[in-house]
Amino acid sequence: MEICLTIEGKTHCYGIPEVLLPMTHWKPGPGPVNYPAFLQDAMIVASLRAESHKITDPAVRERLMTGYNEALQAIEKRAGPGVEIRA
């Protein structure tokens, strides 16, 4: 992501760093496997939730939490029956 500001006719752009952790998911065990990246996706979404309180703008934080809740529901639905995510 890059944020660009135009000040007195000149554009100044700043790169916004991404927090990238070495995320890997465990190999699925025996039986039906329909979502091998389940744990990786869950870790990323959980990390967003854990850091959401640091967002200072309430409107931005609220939108992030809406997206978080939708992502959580999508992960749980994709994982299939017998999977419950407790957040």
Q: What is the pTM of this model?
A: 0.67
pLDDT score for 6: 93
Question: For the chain, which residues make up each domain, given as ranges?
Answer: 19-79
pLDDT score for 64: 94
**14's tokens:** 């700043």
What pLDDT tens digit does each residue of the chain (87 aa) get? Answer: 888 889 999 999 988 877 766 666 566 666 556 677 787 788 888 888 988 999 999 999 999 999 999 999 999 898 888 888 887
pLDDT score for 34: 67
**Cα(70)–Cα(73) distance, integer angstroms:** 5
